[in-house]
Amino acid sequence: MNQRQLGNSGLRVGPLALGGNVFGWTADEAHSFEVLDAFVDAGLNLIDTADVYSRWIPGHRGGESEAMIGKWLKSRGNRSRVVIATKVGIEMGPGEQGLSRPYIMRAVERSLERLGTDYIDLYQSHRDDPGTPMEETLGAYGDLIRQGKVRAIGASNFSAERLMTALALARSAQLPRYECLQPCYNLYDRAGFEGELAELCRREGVAVISYFSLASGFLTGKYRSEKDLVNRARAYRVKDMMNERGFRILHALDEIARELGATPAQVSLAWLIARGVTAPIASATSAEQLREIVGATRLELGAEAVRKLDQASS
């Protein structure tokens, strides 16, 4: 399967990333291992997680996803076949948050331990920390790279202005630069990324790894009415999308999926790839779901299909 360069990092990744937020949450160990095995068997390699997954669940402390991936890596002995991406910065407990040097140095050791590895391929700032000087943050990452604990760094949820500042500082101070950006980007959520931020990434050669690529499942087409939301973990996110524009997008997805013999989820992910996203992130809780989303990597949308989707979601 064709791989893409992750910025200037030297890391090469497949055209789809596996979201690890479900591991240890809506996917137990058996299902997590099943999904991870199917992902690697499909020739893909980028697994994205974060230290904070899934701290939002009552009784969870964070680190559940990393620990599950770590157990899988140990049981399969395949560390060199995968690119592990994790994140730091969102609160893990009192005083345990942000992008200060002391906190990054504590957090990385915990992530390494949970993952059962001595290096993280891609370590990402989960969100901006205006309270910490960027030079301090990038300097800490530089030390981790020199120590061999991190191979490359990325940013998530950064504004165009702040990402531009970080890239300029990295250049002028000879510090490591953010090689990728993780924005919320999908057919429903376009405004936050398209425009200045997308243009900056293109201009600077920053890879794009979109999250919520399927809009919390809405773009799979499985949520069409209020009754579809009953007992769904992401119902609170999806409910706001069930409006005239949302259903217009689903109608366009249905139409193109029928023409191509595909599913709405596959078309949604193929649209992101066609729009220049390096590797959209998508989650799965079963091998069957995983096989469906992997089908997006074999789907080529023509210019007319892209135009229809652009128009429906404008």
Q: Would you name the residues annotated as active-site residues?
A: 53
Burial 69-100 (b: 16+ CB within 10 A, else e): bbbbbeeeeeeeebbbbbbbbbebeeeebbbb
